[in-house]
Amino acid sequence: MEPLKLTIDGREVTTVKGKTVIEAAAEAGIDIPHYCYHPKLPIAGNCRMCLVEIEKMPRLQIACNTQVNEGMAVQTQSPKVLEARRAVMEFLLVNHPLDCPICDQAGECRLQDYYMAHDLKASRFEERKEHDYKREIFGPHVVFDGERCINCTRCVRFLQAVTRTEELTVVDRGDHSTIALFPDRVLDNPLSANVVDICPVGALTDRDFRFKVRVWYLKDTPSICPGCSTGCNITIGAYQNRIARFKPRVNEEVNSHWICDEGRYCFHRLTEVERLTSPLIRQEGGLVPTDWETALQAALSGLSAGAPLAGVISGRNTNEEAFLFARLMRRISSEAALEVFYQERPLTEVEKILKSPDRSPNFRGAREMGVISNGGFDSWLGQLIEGKFRGAYIVGEDLLSALPEGEKIKSALARLSFLVVQDSHLTATAELAHVVLPATNFAEKEGTYTNREGRVQKLNAALVPPEGALQDWEIFARMQREAGDRVSYSTPGQIFQTIANEVPRYGGLSYLRIGEQGAQPSDQT
């Protein structure tokens, strides 16, 4: 890595040999307009938008495929460059339809952005626009509009270089040139919807998000995908207190620029449920609504009399919640068998690019917070089915529906002397409970997840929880207070401070240090 210096727009930039001009500029915070260039894809150099003027070179060069040299002087805003870019824009827009009102990309479209920045004049094109495929279904998640496509081939290169599934290619020549599926292929690989994110225009759009909401209405919240323990960084786009979409958020240490389709759409199953809005308590005949005071007292006294006690927490609960859960359960019964829900499933080769085999994004964190017993989840489940426990506290997971042993679990739970279920909605498991406590889902929480690799990352609340539900940590804290302990947390951040003081691996961490990109504490415990 040989360091070298060059100037971009008169600014001296230090970089290393082998980088391209566009990369060196990006490092220096100078954005060179581009469509086909993507930092994680092979260079194609076909959009011609990133043209820059380089001293002593007779013609304009494309910044994405020109390597830096010592002493190079680059101009990205000279009159010659601006004129060239304007001409490129004009060509790209020749056959582009005026679809903006019905195009989901509008608002985050590179064509719109660069048009506003460079062109701003009416079309000189008087001939008939070339028409192409509209609304071509490419796969379960992706729909293609050929007229909007600028043939940057980002999607084609993504499917060649990242997933290696190669469903798409460029066909035909000239202005008939378009993107198409290979015969008898469907764009259905486990990462397929990423092509929508990398499409710089509205040619590829998301069938799930299609026409739901205009992007400028979305309230974006940086968060972590709750799909599995890879812990992909995402941005939650919410509208009217509902999640409209997940978008990947760049984190080179975890997911780079991508997320998998399963993670991308998992919010439907996790948030689109009929929510519980008050605690329920079992009386003759069934579960009836009650107030929090009564419910918490009943839960606490029932669990206290329920030893040997079992507790299971969902892998979607945060470190802060797992920490309080472990404390509470050990306070009630020091022998309590605690576990975090963990199930593995087989993955295909393409899935392995991002996915982890579990569905518990924070199983590692929960274990580190003390939600751990000898033998792991499967042995814990075995003991539950054998009837080793008398009382149980199940948090955030519908054991009956999530596991193949559903029937056995059902009879085991029915035999318990006392069962508390805490979840966002009335699950099949909750229907067996003596006390049901309404809690929040991942999108309503603030807290941290620790991914499979041990990286601590922060979740932020994107939605407002329904009235009547409480945050999981709040429920644990109130119950602990009910048990006579002094607990004075008022935010998850305060709980995390306690964690940083008490769990050695988390020493020195704070929400500030975790930031938006997460932090990898050392593994020495």
Is the Cβ–Cβ distance between 189 and 213 less than 8 Å? no
Instruction: Please confirm whether the linkage preceding 308 is cis (ω < 30° from 0).
Output: yes
Residue in 91, 125, 182, 217 binding other proteins, rule: CB under 8 A: 217
Residue in 57, 102, 161, 305 binding other proteins, rule: CB under 8 A: 102
Kindly tell me the burial class for residue 199, based on how many C-beta atoms sit within 10 Å of its own C-beta (0-12, 13-18, 19 or more): buried
- Between CA 494 and CA 48 the distance in angstroms is 52
DSSP secondary structure letters along 201-232: SSSEEETTTTTT--GGG-EEEEEE-SSSTT--
- Between CA 3 and CA 422 the distance in angstroms is 57
The nearest distance, CB 131 to other proteins, in angstroms, is: 10
Q: Residue 216 interacts with other proteins (CB under 8 A)?
A: yes
Q: Residue 100 interacts with other proteins (CB under 8 A)?
A: yes
Residue in 129, 185, 214, 505 binding other proteins, rule: CB under 8 A: 214
Stretch that binds other proteins, among 101-109, 118-126, 327-335, 356-364 (CB under 8 A): 101-109
Q: Residue 210 interacts with other proteins (CB under 8 A)?
A: yes
Give me the phi and psi of 276, to 5 degrees please: -80, 140
H-helix or E-strand spanning residue 13: strand 11-16
Total chain residues near other proteins (CB under 8 A) = 12
The nearest distance, CB 155 to other proteins, in angstroms, is: 21
Give the pair of three-digit tokens for residue 277.
């809005």
Q: Which is it for strands 286-289 and 280-283: parallel, antiparallel or unpaired?
A: antiparallel
Residue in 3, 101, 183, 484 binding other proteins, rule: CB under 8 A: 101
State in Å, rounded, how far the first CA of the chain is from the last one. 35
Q: Residue 173 interacts with other proteins (CB under 8 A)?
A: no
Is the Cβ–Cβ distance between 499 and 323 less than 8 Å? yes
Rg of the chain over all Cα atoms, to the nearest angstrom: 27
H-helix or E-strand spanning residue 154: helix 154-161
Residue in 212, 390, 410, 481 binding other proteins, rule: CB under 8 A: 212
The nearest distance, CB 441 to other proteins, in angstroms, is: 24
Residue in 91, 125, 182, 211 binding other proteins, rule: CB under 8 A: 211
Is the Cβ–Cβ distance between 71 and 103 less than 8 Å? no
The nearest distance, CB 217 to other proteins, in angstroms, is: 8
The nearest distance, CB 132 to other proteins, in angstroms, is: 12
Q: Residue 134 interacts with other proteins (CB under 8 A)?
A: yes
The nearest distance, CB 105 to other proteins, in angstroms, is: 13
Q: Is 125 or 217 the residue whose CB approaches other proteins more closely?
A: 217
Residue in 11, 17, 80, 135 binding other proteins, rule: CB under 8 A: 135
Q: Is 134 or 164 the residue whose CB approaches other proteins more closely?
A: 134
10: left (phi over 0), alpha (psi -120 to 50) or beta: left
The nearest distance, CB 270 to other proteins, in angstroms, is: 23
The nearest distance, CB 98 to other proteins, in angstroms, is: 8
Q: Residue 331 interacts with other proteins (CB under 8 A)?
A: no
Cβ of 78: how many Cβ atoms within 10 Å?
A: 14
Give the pair of three-digit tokens for residue 310.
């079992």
Stretch that binds other proteins, among 208-216, 436-444, 465-473, 483-491 (CB under 8 A): 208-216
401-420 positions binding other proteins, by CB under 8 A: none
Residues that bind other proteins (CB under 8 A): 100-102, 106, 134-135, 210-212, 214, 216-217
